[in-house]
Amino acid sequence: MPGTTVWQATAPDRAAETGGEDRTGGHGGTGDLGGTGDLGGTGDLGGTGDLGGTGSPEFVLWLADAAGRAPAANAGPDLLRVRAVVIATGATEITVPFPGWDLPGVTTAGAAQALLKAHGVVAGHRVLVAGSGPLLLPAATALAVAGARVLAVLEANPAGPAAARAAALAPFTEKVAEAAGYAKVLARHRVPVLTGRAVTACHGAGRVQRATISRLTRDWHPMPGPGREVAVDAVHTSFGFCPALDLPRLLGCADVPQPGRPAAAVWHDGDLATSVPGVFAAGETTGVAGADVAELEGYIAGAAAARFLGRIAAVTFGKRTARVRAGLTRTRRFARVLDDLYPFQTGWLDWPAPDTVTCRCEEVPWSAIGEAVAGGARDVRAVKGVTRCGMGYCQGRVCGPVLQQAVATAAGRSLTEVGDLQSRPVVTPVTLAAIAASGWPT
């Protein structure tokens, strides 16, 4: 890589701003991973910015260029030029639209967790936790312990044969024990865990007051009938995560689709090197697999970057990462088991009404997507241009995955063929003054 140039600007409190779950860190790297920790972390990254090897939490990256286009004369205090970089940009939570999902009090499960962890606050006192995936149990457990009345945990996928599930999870005794711990706490708080069900509508004046619970087919189509309404003051939903690819794509990194999901992940080799020399990736960026995988990948990617820079020898690299790789193989295997247990089905496409808001930033109704496809828009970018879906403040981070699925289904094309909204010229909202001051070529 000729050199990577990245621009950063003073960052707001992103967790407070978005109310979302932090999927980008949480591990201090203090565990014994088989090495001394000396990877040459002197802070000298070979350019105009000195990060000291500790990161720069008061700044947020907003632009990057693998070709290093910015001339040295423009190198101010906010310009970093590096010869190697490890991308660990995390993931965004996948939500699906349904009538009333934009009411106050309806949030993602990750947002509920973040609010509780950061401020000790619950969003409501009569709560439903719904969606699909392993996040639902810890989220519901934390809310129940904090004093919320969790009415139920609703998992959209069916339970499946108990014997097959037990056999799949049997090798991972520590994870089974963790899940049993959540189940024990939920049972103590009298919280039922119901499978094959979902919140398919929310109702209320000014905020959510009632939720409709529907039974689902295996593919998540609502079964015939009106569903059951329950009184609530908060609903938290989550349907998995979508790796954040805006920065990797700015750097030219190749990515690969995630089978059966409106998501893609950065391609990497066994050393976490991407398709761009000098760029490495770790964590959810390489595929959503949980904190254990992210920590181990982070160690290997960091060591690989140090080897790339000549800070450690190849023999040292091999020795230090051997035990980490063994653990990584096992944790990735568990992640694949979870993928099989919690597939992302397409029956949710029946949940929205024609007037259900799909893009909350631009207030685009569900019907506009089908009309755009019927009018000749055959991919996500074309539908975006016609409807403005994905043009708002979040730049498609919320509506992008569901838009991709909706367009693919309506157009009769694959998820890969219709594309996505993951490519963004500017990674995060930034002032025009910061752009002008950067001297970045246009």
The whole-angstrom separation of Cα 4 and Cα 82 is 5
**Residue type present at position 284:** E
**pTM of this prediction?**
0.84
And the tokens for 231?
């009184």
The whole-angstrom separation of Cα 219 and Cα 340 is 14
Q: Which domains does the chain have, with CATH numbers?
A: 4-91+246-282+293-313 (no CATH), 97-238 (3.50.50.60), 353-418 (1.10.10.1100)
Q: What angle (nearest 5°) sits at the alpha carbon of residue 52, between those of residues 51 and 58?
A: 45
- Range with the poorest average pLDDT among 53-57, 164-168, 413-417, 431-435: 53-57
pLDDT surpassing 90 at residue 64: no
And the tokens for 142?
């934390």
Identify the pLDDT of residue 306: 95
pLDDT surpassing 80 at residue 390: yes
Q: Which has more confidence, 385 or 436?
A: 385
Identify the pLDDT of residue 79: 66
404 three-state secondary structure: helix
Render pLDDT for 319-342 as a digit per residue (tens, 0 to 9): 999 999 999 999 999 999 999 999
365-372: average pLDDT: 97
- Count CB atoms within 10 A of the CB of residue 91: 23
246-254: average pLDDT: 91
pLDDT surpassing 70 at residue 70: no
Render pLDDT for 196-243 as a digit per residue (tens, 0 to 9): 999 999 999 999 999 999 999 999 999 998 899 999 999 999 999 999
And the tokens for 366?
């569900």
The whole-angstrom separation of Cα 243 and Cα 249 is 12
pLDDT > 70: percent of the chain:
81
H-helix or E-strand spanning residue 93: strand 91-93
Q: Residue ranges of the alpha helices (H) in 53-189? A: 109-119, 136-145, 162-169, 173-188
Q: Which has more confidence, 62 or 395?
A: 395
pLDDT band (50, 70, 90) for residue 134: very high
pLDDT band (50, 70, 90) for residue 46: very low
